[in-house]
Amino acid sequence: MKNIKINKKALEICSNIFYPLLALALVLAVWAICSKAYNNPIILPEPGVTLKAFFMLFGEKYFWTNIGWSILRTLICFAISFAFAVVLASLGNLWKPLNKTLAPIITILRAAPTVAIILIAYAFMANNKLAIVVGLLIAFPILYSAFFSAIENVDKDLLEMAKIYKVKPIDRIFSIYLPSVTPTLFDMSKSTISLTFKVVVAAEILTSIPKSIGVWIKYEQNIFDIEYLLAWTIASIVIAFVLEGIVSLFKYIWRKTR
């Protein structure tokens, strides 16, 4: 029985590695075919040329500086969004009028086009703060909605039992609410942190924020250096995957330590 479990685990790990690699191979193959068919390396360089440019960026000091600032902006606005979402979702479940008041605002923020939010904020906000604020406005409504639903859907029978046996509020939080809500916190954080990063980079591109990935993407586009434009784009994709991977790692650690 133990060997069967080990084999299943090994098979699961192999499949988790195989399918992403297969998807990557397909993307590179389609890219290579399109590049050959278009036959214009200035417009669409081959994957090998772009990947060479991507790895050359690693040796540049400005590469790490700009990546660091973009990641820092992402983490700041995500942390603020996460904290506000948890607090307000909890309060909204305790006091329903608060949720009814926030609901239209959340709907407006979720429906508003990201580019429009960036341009409106750009009209009256300093560049160094704009990306953080825009990221917050995009991430907060997503996290709030998910956290509110997760808290609202906590098993009512368990809560009723805790009430009957007069379980302390602090014990209810740690023994009922947290185990029920934490999977949603991790799952939504995983998808939202990469989305937040993309929004931050978009704000950097549109507003040319210094010390950022976005400003270099815009620069390479302005001088029409497609190789490095694609290289910076690949760097952004890799960072988004890394951020999601870190959240997945935290979730794995949490499961193992329960």
Provide the pLDDT for residue 9. 65
Entry field: residues in the chain: 258
160: closest CA among 152, 151, 149, 172?
A: 172
Same domain, 115 and 230: yes
195: closest CA among 119, 149, 137?
A: 137
Same domain, 110 and 230: yes
Same domain, 162 and 83: yes
> Tens digits of per-residue pLDDT, 111-132?
888 888 888 888 877 777 888 8
Same domain, 205 and 171: yes
> Tens digits of per-residue pLDDT, 197-230?
999 999 999 888 888 999 999 999 898 888 999 9
> Tens digits of per-residue pLDDT, 58-105?
888 889 999 999 999 999 999 999 999 999 999 998 888 999 999 999
Q: What is the mean pLDDT of residues 16-36?
A: 82
Same domain, 49 and 22: no
Same domain, 222 and 120: yes
Same domain, 190 and 239: yes
Same domain, 56 and 33: no
pTM (two decimals): 0.88
Q: Could you give the C-alpha distances from 9 to 2, 20, 37, 254, in angstroms and in order?
A: 11, 17, 42, 19
Same domain, 223 and 115: yes
Where would I find the H helices in the chain? 2-38, 47-57, 61-94, 96-111, 114-124, 127-152, 156-164, 169-172, 178-207, 213-222, 226-256
Where residue 58 sits, what CATH number does that domain have?
1.10.3720.10
Q: How many domains does the chain have?
A: 2
What's the domain range around 19? 1-39
Same domain, 243 and 198: yes
Same domain, 4 and 94: no
